[in-house]
Amino acid sequence: MARIVLSDEFGRQFAGGQTRFDLDVRDVRHLIRTLEEMFPGIAEHLEAGAIAIDNEIIPDPWLNPIRPNSEVFFLPAIKGG
């Protein structure tokens, strides 16, 4: 099971305040589908932000693998200057 962490505001807005989930997912695509099934409407918000998998911020992730012991954080979008 990978440890999935939503930002507080998404937890508040979609998941009744819960932000931490242990999920059995293969990759980011699978993760987002799974979360969308759990919390309808969350996917478009998640896709507009960034994701860190195992301490690395990944631009525009989708096919990136998630390992059973991975830690995944959803982050606000980061724009550079």
Partner 1 sequence: MAGYEGKSFKWVGTRPVRPDGVDKVTGRATYGADMNLPGQLTGRILRSPHAHAKILSIDTSKAEKLKGVKAVVTSKDFPQMHRGVLPGDEGVNFHYLSSNIMARDKVLYDGHAVAAVAATSAAIAEEALALIDVKYEVLPHVIDVDDAMKPGAPLLHDDVFTTGVNPKPDKPSNIVQRVHMALGDAEAAFKDADIVIERSFKSKAVHQGYIEPHAVVAEWSEDGQCRIWCSSQGHFMVRALTSRLLNMEAAQIRVMPAEIGGGFGGKTIVFIEPTAVLLARKASLPVRIVMSRDEVFRATGPAPGSSMDVKIGAKKDGTLVAAVGEFRFQAGAFPGSPVGPACMAAFGPYALANVTSAGYEAVTNRPLCYSYRAPGAPLSSFAVESVIDEIAQKLNIDPMEMRIKNGSKEGTQMVYGPKLKAVGNLECLKAIQNHPINKIPLGPNQGRGLAAGFWFNLGGQSSAVVNIAEDGTANIMTGSPDIGGSRASMALMAAEVLGIDYSKVRPIVGDTSSVGFCEITHGSRVTFATGMAIIQAAEDVVLQCRQRVAAMWEVDVDAVKWEDGHACPAGANAGDQKPLSLAKIAAKASRTGGPLVGSAAINAGGAGPAFGVHICDVEVDPETGGVTVLRYVAAQDAGKAIHPSYVEGQIQGGVAQGIGWALNEEYIYGADGRLQNSGFLDYRIPVASDLPMIDALILEVPNPGHPFGVRGVGEVPIVPPLAAIANAIARATGARMMDLPMSPPKILAAIDAKK
Binding site for partner 1 (CB under 8 A): 5, 7-10, 12-13, 17, 43-45, 47-49, 52, 54-60, 71, 73, 75-81
Please state, in angstroms and rounded to a whole number, the distance separating the CA atoms of residues 79 and 46: 16
Q: How far apart are CA 46 and CA 29, in angstroms?
A: 11
Q: How far is the CB of 26 from partner 1 (least distance, A)?
A: 18
Pick 1 or 18: Cβ nearer partner 1: 18
Among 66, 33, 36, smallest CA distance to 51 is for 66
